[in-house]
Amino acid sequence: MMKTLAWAAVALLSAMPAAAQDKPEATVTTTRSVHKSRSFSLTADKGLRLDLGDESRTIPLDELVSVQFQGSAGSRASAGTPTTQAVLANGDTVYGTVESESDSALRLRTVFGSISIKLEHLRKIAILTTRGGRWTKAPDLSRGDLIRLASGEEDVGMVERIGETEIGFRSSILKERLNYPVKDVSEIHFQPVGGRTAFEASRTYASVGLADGSSLRGNLRELSPAGVKLAAEIGSIGDPSFPISLVASITLHNGSLVYLSDLAPASALEKPYVGVGPMLFPYQRDRSVAGDDRPLSVAGKRYPKGLGVHAHSELTYALDGKFGTFQAIAGLDDSASGKGSVVFKVLGDGKVLFDSGVVAGQAWAEALGAGSAPKEIRLDVRGVQKLTLRVESGPDDDVQDRAAWADAKLIR
């Protein structure tokens, strides 16, 4: 009997660390330091309380920069392959699948549930299952909504209905109502109609990024190991809740953080490996360099913020000594299909602060004797006047050298 109890005690003790490991680990970045904790809770009037094992600490809201979650989030945040990317009037992005027909809203099934986004709250819809030309020119919305087809044709008018298989469109050109099959549509741009709802940002105003690439802004209502609740900036989204397993990051908009993709570079040098002439794949903000408005994606994870580039590229930003830290995830974009090889370098006032060595796509890594895993970058840039992000070609010249500075940001 005693032996049985002893073995039961051993089993119980062995299970306790595993249970603790099941809790998500949060990497909390502040203006002063970085903490890791599996126990955290938000108090709107005080800040984020962390259990650091030997002590508890509350991070004031004005010092809180971001909270990130790694590992399981990417593998759990799947509800089938999304067919639709919706860009909202405020720039938020949601991925999902159209689940029912409506003449007033886009009804999507997302990883966090079903939502209904009013048409006046939409800026753009991209049909991810349709591949057409690379749409590089800005849409002309002076005459109404614009629908672009995979064939390269465009129509102007008004979207009247969105369904799973057809889009009802009142054409100003043909003066009639048309039903465009979804399989033929590449993207729809909506004429702005002042659809952004009244919203008052609080001290907890933040962006919640999900592992599938969706990103929503609003006031944080709850944040704990159980999940996140947000009062969305766009009213028709409501107050969505996200299990913590779906959340990749939370970024506070308190002025402590600036994304590089929200800044214009002081200079941009881009040149092909051989030959002369313009780059076929110029750098892109918050999307893949491959074009077609594809999201940035590295190692299977979408990133709503970042820079898509092609070797050889040098983007230089004027920091003027105003920032303390630079962070990014550097890797080959998934649109390279496992090919390509590049070298990432970060320079501060001409001095190399980071050199990744050769990073290759999984399909070519072994042959080139290189690693394929993306590089997590965190650099001290205090006093730096000019920051340069350089991507050089690897041993395979510049074939498929589609790279990404994902989640590239500066912290004051």
Q: Based on the domain organization, do 166 and 293 belong to the same domain? A: no
pLDDT band at residue 392, thresholds of 50, 70 and 90?
very high
- Structural contact between residues 302 and 400, judged by C-beta atoms closer than 8 angstroms: no
- Structural contact between residues 58 and 220, judged by C-beta atoms closer than 8 angstroms: no
Q: What is the C-alpha to C-alpha distance for residues 86 and 93, in angstroms, rounded to an integer?
A: 6
Last residue of a domain, one of 132, 165, 189: 189
**Choice between 388 and 140, residue whose per-residue pLDDT is larger:** 388
Q: Calculate the CA 52 to chain-centre distance.
A: 28
Instruction: Read off the amino acid at residue 209.
Output: G
Predicted local confidence at residue 291, as pLDDT: 73
In a domain, 17, yes or no: no
Q: Mean per-residue pLDDT for 3-20?
A: 39
- Structural contact between residues 379 and 344, judged by C-beta atoms closer than 8 angstroms: no
User: Which residue reads 């060595």 in tokens?
Assistant: 357
pLDDT band at residue 353, thresholds of 50, 70 and 90?
very high
Predicted local confidence at residue 120, as pLDDT: 92
3-state secondary structure of 135: coil
Q: Based on the domain organization, do 276 and 380 belong to the same domain? A: yes
In a domain, 76, yes or no: no
CA-nearest of 251, 336, 195 to 67 is: 251
Q: 122-156: per-residue pLDDT in tens? A: 999 999 888 765 566 778 898 999 999 988 899 99
User: Which residue reads 């962390």 in tokens?
Assistant: 50
- The H-assigned helical ranges of 71-140 are 72-76
Task: Return the CATH number at 242.
Answer: 2.30.30
pLDDT band at residue 282, thresholds of 50, 70 and 90?
confident
User: Would residue 326 be called left, alpha or beta, if left means φ above 0 and alpha means ψ between -120 and 50 degrees?
Assistant: beta
In a domain, 175, yes or no: yes
In a domain, 117, yes or no: yes
Average pLDDT score over the chain:
85
Q: Based on the domain organization, do 163 and 210 belong to the same domain? A: no
Q: Based on the domain organization, do 202 and 65 belong to the same domain? A: yes
In a domain, 8, yes or no: no
Q: Mean per-residue pLDDT for 348-355?
A: 96
Q: Mean per-residue pLDDT for 356-375?
A: 81
Token readout for 245 is 């397993």
Predicted local confidence at residue 4, as pLDDT: 40
Q: Based on the domain organization, do 180 and 302 belong to the same domain? A: no
* Planar angle of CA 241, 246, 248, nearest 5 degrees: 110
Q: Are strands 227-232 and 241-243 parallel, antiparallel or unpaired?
A: antiparallel
User: Which residue reads 């039903």 in tokens?
Assistant: 179
Predicted local confidence at residue 86, as pLDDT: 94
- Domain with 91, as residue range(s), is 84-189
Q: Based on the domain organization, do 232 and 158 belong to the same domain? A: no
Q: Based on the domain organization, do 406 and 312 belong to the same domain? A: yes
DSSP state for residue 191 in the 8-state scheme = P
Task: Return the CATH number at 298.
Answer: 2.60.120.1060
3-state secondary structure of 334: helix
Predicted local confidence at residue 43, as pLDDT: 85
Name the pTM for this structure. 0.75
Q: Based on the domain organization, do 163 and 30 belong to the same domain? A: no
Q: Based on the domain organization, do 51 and 147 belong to the same domain? A: no
Q: Is the pLDDT of residue 281 over 60?
A: yes
Q: Calculate the CA 55 to chain-centre distance.
A: 33
Q: Is the pLDDT of residue 395 over 90?
A: no
Q: Based on the domain organization, do 65 and 208 belong to the same domain? A: yes
Q: Is the pLDDT of residue 264 over 60?
A: yes
Range with lowest mean pLDDT among 133-137, 237-241, 361-365 = 133-137
| Element of type H or E holding 328 | strand 325-332
Paired residues of 167 in beta bridges: 162, 180
Q: Based on the domain organization, do 153 and 263 belong to the same domain? A: no
Q: Is the pLDDT of residue 18 over 90?
A: no
* Planar angle of CA 101, 104, 107, nearest 5 degrees: 45
In a domain, 362, yes or no: yes
Q: Based on the domain organization, do 386 and 288 belong to the same domain? A: yes
Predicted local confidence at residue 197, as pLDDT: 66
Q: 289-328: per-residue pLDDT in tens? A: 887 667 888 988 888 889 999 999 999 999 999 999 999 9
When divided into structural domains, the chain yields a total of 3
Q: What is the C-alpha to C-alpha distance for residues 312 and 377, in angstroms, rounded to an integer?
A: 20
pLDDT band at residue 273, thresholds of 50, 70 and 90?
low
